Amino acid sequence: MATSTTTFDIPALGHEEEKKPLTPGQLIWRRFRKHRMAVSGMISFGLLLLFIIGGSYFVSEERANAVSLTDRLSPPSEKYWMGTDSTGRDIFARMIYGGQISLFVGFTAVLLSVTLGTLIGGLAGFFGGWLDVILMRFTESMLSIPQLFLLIVLGKFIGRNIDTITILGKTFSGSVAIVILVIGFTSWMFLARIVRANVLSLKEMDYVSVSRSLGASNLRIFFSHLIPNTMGIIIVSTTLGLAGAILSEAYVSFLGLGIQPPTASWGNMLTAAQTFIQKGSWWMWVFPSMFIVATILSINLVGDGLRDAFDPRSTRHL
């Protein structure tokens, strides 16, 4: 009598791939790249940087400052892709070098602002006591200083009297330094308050107590544990502050009190165009306005995405 046997396939244990836990950096990047508007903002800002930085390899600064009265107020054409201004200068070339100045002012002012805000807020939160009282009262007093008013006053009475300066082979009007310093020294207060609040909570964590018990100095704890764990707040503040700094430079230069000729910026290009708005020379103000709006919008989108990505409680984009 024949007997039949039934065999069963038993899956081998231990062959299933275990998913490795994501590192904090991978988790942040995963959240960020699923934020479609933030990714589009990053791509837009990357294209702007490519135009501003890469364009200087193909268009010389002499071309941006070259005057041709026979071609003044020429509309966009094959020769002049964005037309010319009232003195015949190529707007396309000036957009490249004007953008470099606007971003240079923005990045430098934000670097100064973030450094001050991080140090003052971090030290106030970490040490507390009388140092916290002094630094926070100083921060509150700085909040009462109107940035726009200070920019206008210093730009009018001091900026025009400062000689031109040369940085990395480029010549800037002396008003550039005034704009950078004023924006940098009047924009750090909100970040200082946020960093202080974050450090106040972080210094009570167990790993800080363990580090102190192992003999770590206050300096090491501050720069190796507290500041790195505050980088999310600092990075988000940097992106949003950059947009504000570029916009501040633009409207002060538009008032004629910021970056002074011959140094080009998007703001003073709008100043030169305002008398020709009613005369049909639309290209003189349309292109600088478009680049300012595109830059501010893309930076704000990136900042919004970074804010969600660095939020540990956010599950929106997982």
Per-residue pLDDT tens over the stretch 216-241: 888 888 888 888 888 888 888 888 88
Token digits for 17?
């791939």
101 in Cβ contact with 265 (< 8 Å)? yes
pLDDT classification of 15: cutoffs 50, 70, 90: very low
Residue 135 to residue 66: CA distance in whole angstroms = 50
pLDDT at 47: 93
ω into 262 cis (within 30 of 0): yes
DSSP 311: -
Packed helices 189-202 and 231-254: angle between N→C axes, nearest 10 degrees = 180
Contacts of 68 (CB under 8 A, 6+ apart): 84, 87, 88, 89
pLDDT classification of 50: cutoffs 50, 70, 90: very high
Give me the residue label for tokens 């502050």.
241
Give me the residue label for tokens 């010389």.
60
Per-residue pLDDT tens over the stretch 235-273: 888 888 888 888 887 777 777 666 766 677 888 888 878
Does the structural domain 50-56+88-310 have CATH classification 1.10.10.10?
no
pLDDT at 309: 81
65 in Cβ contact with 85 (< 8 Å)? no
Could you state, in order of their start, the residue ranges of all structural domains in the chain? 50-56+88-310
Contacts of 135 (CB under 8 A, 6+ apart): 120, 121, 123, 124, 192
